[in-house]
Amino acid sequence: MKIDDWLLEILVCPACRAPLRSDESSAELVCTSEACGLAYPVRDDIPVLLVDEARRPGEAT
């Protein structure tokens, strides 16, 4: 998964507007808000920032 640092700095969670962090092991961008915590998939190095596609905290990948 290749997400440029400058891009990661400006991406926010579509649900709550909190910053996102990269999770290389699961190829996801994860919301840093403890209240939200959604994990967005990255497919072919493209973040899929759709709430409907996000994994809820505690769900299996």
Per-residue confidence band for 61, with pLDDT thresholds at 50, 70 and 90: low
Confidence band, pLDDT 50/70/90 cuts, at residue 58: confident
Q: Beta strand 39-43 with 20-23: parallel, antiparallel or unpaired?
A: unpaired
35 contacts 16 by C-beta, under 8 angstroms: yes
Query: Per residue in 15-26, pLDDT tens?
Result: 999 999 999 888
Q: With b meaning 16 or more CB within 10 Å and e meaning fewer, what string describes 34-60? A: eebbbbbbbeeeebebeeeebbeeeee
Give the Cβ contact number of residue 31 at 10 Å.
23
Domain boundaries, the chain: 5-53
Q: For 29-55, what is each residue's pLDDT tens digit?
A: 999 999 999 999 999 989 999 999 999
Give the per-residue pLDDT at 57.
80
Looking at domain 5-53, its CATH class is: mainly beta
pLDDT at 1: 75
